[in-house]
Amino acid sequence: MTSAMSKYIRAIRLMGASALDTVFPRTCRVCGRTLVTGEKLLCIGCMAELPRTYLHNVGFNTLHQRIGGEHEIDIAAGWFYYYSDSLYAHLIHEAKYNDRPATACQLGRLYGAELAADGLSDRFDVLLPVPLHRDKLLKRGYNQSLEVARGLAEALGCEVGDNLTALRSHHTQTRRSGYERYDNVRGSFGIRHPEELDGLSVAIVDDVITTGSTVLDCINAIATSSTPSRLNILSIGVTHMR
């Protein structure tokens, strides 16, 4: 190999490495330690100490209680407890505000792998991310819940649907007359092609669940317009009610 060619190959490799580092910086997003081969986003120590909820293993849990409502919810779970003053909050902030859709997707992949390891691969047919209103989407550039759903779907081997829509302000709703939509108390979400969800195990995906009112709005919108076989909720963060 000529020296010119080996220089060229080295330059290409360096470019590849730096492009990958842009997607996944090679430091732990929690403690800042340099990651070693095989570690993604979090180092092995921070993965071990992640304040996991394990709610997917608990039949009727704090999220079922929090969300309430009249519709039966099968699995309601989130990956880890979220405290705004915790170092783990960096993961959510980065996925949501720091223009890192790849982080959101990777969080979904990591959580999905743990759900799959606990035998939940076949539990969901379609994942529906909580949609962002168009104004927010334009500002942020991506919907972090969609990215989380993509990662989860990849790990769980299911589909991501776009049936949930964020309803816009009054002056534009008339243009949505073609949609079969459900206006609940808050009227935040609508369902596109509700018949597509009939008979399916549907999971709503959000980045963080706090009071649960957002996912409850989604549940109400779905259950009113279609007949899924199961309704589920998955998130990355769950705020701890203290």
CB of residue 171 to Zn ion, shortest distance in Å: 48
Return d(Cα 208, Cα 81) in angstroms, integer: 9
| Interface pattern 42-71 for Zn ion (x via CB under 5 A) | -x--x-------------------------
109 versus 123: smaller Cβ distance to Zn ion: 109
Nearer to Zn ion, 28 or 233 (CB): 28
The sheet carrying 159-160 orders its strands as 76-82, 230-239, 201-209, 126-129, 159-160
Closer of 43 and 219 to Zn ion (Cβ): 43
Measured between alpha carbons, how far is 236 from 57 in angstroms, rounded to an integer?
15
Helix (H) or strand (E) segment spanning residue 217: helix 213-225
For Zn ion, the closer of residues 88 and 111 by Cβ is 88
Shortest Å distance, C-beta 3 to Zn ion? 40
Q: What are the strands, taking DSSP E only, across 14-63?
A: none
Parallel, antiparallel or unpaired: strands 126-129 and 164-166: unpaired
Nearer to Zn ion, 129 or 237 (CB): 237
236 lies in the binding site for Zn ion (CB under 5 A): no
Please report, for residues 111, 122, 204, the alpha-carbon distance to residue 226 in angstroms, rounded to integers and kept in the order given: 28, 21, 14
- Binding letters toward Zn ion, positions 2-41, x by CB under 5 A: --------------------------x-xx----------
Report in angstroms how near the CB of residue 92 gets to Zn ion at its nearest.
Answer: 16
| Cα-only R_g, the chain | 20
Residues that bind Zn ion (CB under 5 A): 28, 30-31, 43, 46
